Structures are given as C-alpha cells and as structure tokens.
C-alpha cells in the first residue's frame, strides 16, 4: 500500500498552489473606472476562474482588483474560503451601477450576497470603495471591455 511521505506531499501541494497562482496571473485584465479613480481588474469570466477568484493571494496592489463576469443577472454570493486578503466586493447590475458593497473577512465561509440581480462583482482590497467615497448607486465604467462570460 502506498503511503505519501508528508514532506513530499507538502512540496507537491506547494507546487500546485504556485501553479494555480501563476495560472491566475494569465487572466485578462481591463481598465475600469469609478469616477476619476482608475482600477486595473483581472477578469474572471469562466466558471474555473470565478471559482478560484483571489484564493491563495498574499497581497494585491491598491488600484488592482478582480472583476467577476456572470452569464446572467442573478443574486450571486461570494465567500472567502482560502482567501488570505481582506476584501470588499461591489455587486453591479448590467449597466455597472453598484447595487451594494460588502466587506469580507479572510478565510471565512460567510456568504456576502448581491441585494438584487447582479451581472458583475468587483473585488478590491477591503476599504477601497469607502476610502474613495464610492457608494451604491454610483457606476463603474469600462465594463463593456470585459470578455463575454463562459
């Protein structure tokens, strides 16, 4: 019977996590804006990248985030399993109007849900939206450049 060596198993898991992080670095990026605030967003437009999200990341530059593009408008929920960064998520309608903003704690499985049917979710470092005075009802521009959901 095969028994994995614990050290080797740890090395293999570390390599897999590194490969997953490298794969995420290959996601397309687009420039968005919230008024005059510029945002560089990686785009998660397929099921695999939406499920991975920002998991396993240790840091993110203040002006960077991740845009989740959903196939249709629904009341989507986000959670923070295996996500080490404290994040804020803005749920957006078809036109980019912010429906609601939720702050999320790292490494939790609490649901943070859209208050109405959303087509997009934009995750940024926690406090980004509040710090810039960005509130529900305002619009995120540049979404027309995002890839179609798959």
Give the start-to-end residue ranges of the domains of the chain.
6-145
- Asked if the model's pLDDT at residue 22 lies above 60, the reply is no
The tokens describing 137, both together, are 């009802």
Beta bridge partners of 90: 101, 122
Q: What is the mean pLDDT of the chain?
A: 89
The candidate with the shortest Cα–Cα distance to 38, out of 65, 60, 58, is 65
3-state SS class at 63: coil
- What is the arithmetic mean of pLDDT over 36-56? 97
> According to the model, what pLDDT value does residue 74 have?
98
State which fold the 6-145 domain adopts.
Jelly Rolls (2.60.120)
- What is the arithmetic mean of pLDDT over 12-40? 73
Distances (CA, A) of 77 to 39, 50, 71, 134: 22, 12, 14, 20
What DSSP string runs through 78-138? E--TT--S-EEEEEE-TT-BEEEEEEE-TT----EE-SS-EEEEEEEETTHHHHTT--TT-
- What is the arithmetic mean of pLDDT over 57-69? 97
Contact 102, 112 (CB under 8 A): yes
Output the CA angle 27-103-115, nearest 5 degrees.
Answer: 90
**Pairwise CA distance, residues 52 & 54, whole Å:** 6
Q: How confident is the model at residue 26 (pLDDT cuts 50, 70, 90)?
A: confident
pLDDT tens for 77-131 read 999 999 999 999 999 999 999 999 999 999 999 999 999 999 999 999 999 999 9
Question: What are the two backbone dihedrals, phi and then psi, of residue 63, each rounded to the nearest 5 degrees?
Answer: -95, 5
**Pairwise CA distance, residues 84 & 120, whole Å:** 22
């Amino acid at each position: 019977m095969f028994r994995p060596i614990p050290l080797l198993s740890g090395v293999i898991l570390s390599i897999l996590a590194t490969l997953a992080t490298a794969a995420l670095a290959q996601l397309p990026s687009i420039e968005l804006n919230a008024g005059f605030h510029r945002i560089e967003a990686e785009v998660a437009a397929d099921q695999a990248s939406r499920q991975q999200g920002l998991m396993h990341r240790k840091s993110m530059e203040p002006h960077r985030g991740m845009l989740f593009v959903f196939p249709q408008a629904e009341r989507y929920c986000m959670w923070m399993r295996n996500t080490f960064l404290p994040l804020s998520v803005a749920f957006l309608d078809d036109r980019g109007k912010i429906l609601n903003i939720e702050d999320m704690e790292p490494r939790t499985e609490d649901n943070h849900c859209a208050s109405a049917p959303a087509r997009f979710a934009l995750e940024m470092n926690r406090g980004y939206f509040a710090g810039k005075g960005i509130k529900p009802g305002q619009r995120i521009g540049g979404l027309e450049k995002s890839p179609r959901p798959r």
